[in-house]
Structure formats: C-alpha cells, structure tokens
Amino acid sequence: MRVTLYTKADCGLCEEAASMLRRLRKQTRFELEYVDIEADAGANERYGSRIPVIAVDGEEVAAAPLDEKQLAAILLR
C-alpha cells in the first residue's frame, strides 16, 4: 500500500499528519510518500488550502481536519 501525504512547508497541520502517519506505520506496513504542493503545480491547484491531504494508492481518503481513528480504520482495512 502506498500512502501519499500532500503537504507544504511551515504547515502545522501537515506536521501533525506526518506524525500521525509515522505512528500508524507501527501498526501496519505502507510506503509513505510526501508531496510538497508548492513544488507541484497540479497538486497545488488540486489541494491548495485543503492540506494536509492523504491519498492511499492514488485515491484521496482524508483531508484537514484529520481524525487519527478514522485514518487508522482506513489504513488497517
């Protein structure tokens, strides 16, 4: 499973999302990829002010505000 975190610099919610994903990696295995939307025009246009956004295998599954229990349920299924 590949999990993508769409993020940008100086984003407190993005840091919280990254921490959440690191904790969840202890419960289940997945590849974690970070995409800086400021360096990717398409991602910036798609996600802009909604970050952090999390996608699993290319499908968006969560956006700010994130709920760790809901995210865990998604990743553990």
- Domains of the chain are 2-76 (3.40.30.10)
CB 70 within 8 A of CB 62: yes
Give me the average pLDDT of each 10-residue run along the chain (77 residues). 96 96 94 96 92 96 94 91
Between CA 24 and CA 21 the distance in angstroms is 5
Residue-level pLDDT at 15: 97
Radius of gyration of the chain (CA): 12
Q: Could you tell me the pTM of the whole model?
A: 0.93
Q: Which helix (H) or strand (E) holds 62?
A: strand 59-63
- For position 7, what pLDDT does the model report? 97
